[in-house]
Amino acid sequence: MSTPADPPVSADSGQLALTETTSGATSRVTSETPSVAPTPGAHPVPPAPPLLGEVATLLGVHPHDLAATLDTSPGARRGANPARRPLTREQSGALLRTALARRHGEHGAGPIAFINLKGGVGKTTLAVNLACRAAQLGLRTCLVDLDPQASATLALAGEPNDETDVFLDVWQQPDDTLPRTLWSIADGLDLLPSSLDNTLLDGQLAHPAQQKRAVAGVCDRLATLGYDLVLIDCPPALGTGVISTFCAVRQLVVPVCADAFSLKGLRLTVDEMNAISDTFSLRPPRMRVVFNRHDRRERLHADTLAELRGRHGDALLDAAPRVSAQYARALATRRSVFGPPRQPVAAADIDACLRELLDLNREPVE
């Protein structure tokens, strides 16, 4: 398995510029910094910095009010249209962290997992784009890839190889091993990669006590490393890694599409979540259902949304990412939908999801 002296990121990953990379050093809240393998040479055109108007929309406040909280000095600039004003990642990160602390307490939103026992519903697409966006906005973000198919790893960093350390290699000793196993994807975005090795988890997590602690232990360690946000991309199967994830996360995001299979996957996922919470005497995580690939012209989609609303009520996000080739287009150039170039439909929908998943719209900042 890989060592810090033998960074597993392929030279290939030098193409990646999934988030902004030029706005200065990423400061961690702890003095301990993971010895993440650096991305060798970032893409020359980083995404545009976040605009004050975008951050105001995420926070549910008027741009003028948000500008006023930033412009407290007497000589502060009073632009005609503050919404167009670029913010640094540090500025937008500080604003979002304040909102997260107000809404969720000092430990933030807690780990969020993307699960549906059906594949192809958008778990990886949502997790990857949300992680990239959160990092671009200045939140220190870690994406944990638990899927042996390693789609998130492929999307962000390229093929894992035999030397790549993955969750399987770190869960027993996350204090020692986790920091050096993370890959640095871009400023503020790190990845715990996956590979086929994670198929061996079922053999390793045989005991219920191990299942209860494995993912939780890794998440606790990530918290001590100072991440604001931890997103976990799960495989579409009920292995022990997924059971362990159920025990560890604060929120489960279940993407569904307008087909009977993914709705069945949702039902199975809810049943399993409740059964596992009972078995381990844990409070079930908060479930969030995301209707993905929404096509407003399709009657079936309207009917499915109505059914989901009836069954899952508050758990269903208002944001329903529209069906769009922009996700695949961004992925083809190893970018998030925030670019460059920005894919506007998909970017707006990912922002709407981020806002609801982090409850940023619930508590206005000053």
Cβ(292)–Cβ(122) below 8 Å:
yes
Radius of gyration of the CA atoms of the chain, in A = 20
Cis peptide before 340 (omega within 30 of 0): yes
Comparison of 92 and 326: residue with beta carbon closer to ligand ADP: 326
Contact region for Mg ion (CB under 5 A) — 73-81, 90-98, 123-131, 168-176? 123-131
Rank residues 52 and 152 by Cβ distance to Mg ion and give the closer one.
152
Residue 125 contact, options ligand ADP, Mg ion, none, Cβ 5-8 Å cut-off depending on partner type:
ligand ADP
**Which of 9, 319 has the CB closer to ligand ADP?**
319
Choice between 124 and 198, CB closer to Mg ion = 124
Interface with Mg ion (CB under 5 A), residue total 3
The residues facing 254 across adjacent strands are: 289
By beta-carbon proximity to ligand ADP, the closer residue of 91 and 292 is 292
Binding segment (CB under 5 A) for Mg ion, from list 119-127, 264-272, 292-300, 341-349? 119-127
Which of ligand ADP, Mg ion, none interacts with 245 (beta carbon under 5 to 8 A by kind)? none
Interaction partner, residue 292 (Mg ion, ligand ADP, none; CB < 5-8 Å by kind): ligand ADP
Mapped onto helix, strand or coil, the DSSP state of residue 240 is: helix
d(CA 171, CA 215): 7
Nearest to 107 by CA among 282, 230, 273: 230
> Judged by CB under 5 A, which stretch of 48-56, 115-123, 173-181, 318-326 contacts Mg ion?
115-123
Where do we find the tokens 């606790």? 220
| Residue 59 or 201 with smaller CB distance to ligand ADP | 201
Q: Which of 19, 26, 136, 151: binder of Mg ion (CB under 5 A)?
A: 151
Among 124, 262, 292, 304, binds Mg ion (CB under 5 A): 124
**Cα 243 to Cα 257: distance, rounded to the nearest angstrom:** 23
Contacting residues toward ligand ADP, per CB under 6 A: 119-125, 151, 236, 292-293, 321, 323-324, 327-328
* Separation of alpha carbons 29 and 265, rounded Å: 38
CB of 53 to Mg ion, least distance (A): 32
Which residue of 43, 123, 213, 288 would you call a contact of Mg ion, by CB under 5 A? Answer: 123
The tokens describing 206, both together, are: 């045989």
Give the residue at shortest CB distance from Mg ion: 124
Whichever of 123 and 301 has its CB closer to Mg ion, that residue is 123
> In this structure, are residues 353 and 291 in contact, taking their beta carbons and an 8 Å threshold?
no
Instruction: Tell me the window of 145-153, 170-178, 182-190, 297-305 that interacts with Mg ion (CB under 5 A).
Output: 145-153
Other CB atoms within 10 Å distance of the CB of residue 356: 17
Give burial (CB, 10 Å; 0-12/13-18/19+) of 60.
Answer: middle
Are 160 and 8 contacting, i.e. CB atoms less than 8 angstroms apart? yes
Q: Which of these segments, 22-30, 150-158, 187-195, 315-323, binds Mg ion (CB under 5 A)? A: 150-158
Hey, what long-range contacts does 56-59 have (CB within 8 A, 24 or more apart)? 56/83, 57/351, 57/355, 58/96, 58/137, 58/351, 58/354, 58/355, 58/360, 58/361, 59/95, 59/96, 59/99, 59/360, 59/361, 59/364, 59/365
50 vs 122, which CB is nearer to ligand ADP?
Answer: 122
Of the listed pieces 60-68, 90-98, 118-126, 319-327, which binds Mg ion according to CB under 5 A? Answer: 118-126
By CB under 5 A, name the binding residues for Mg ion: 123-124, 151
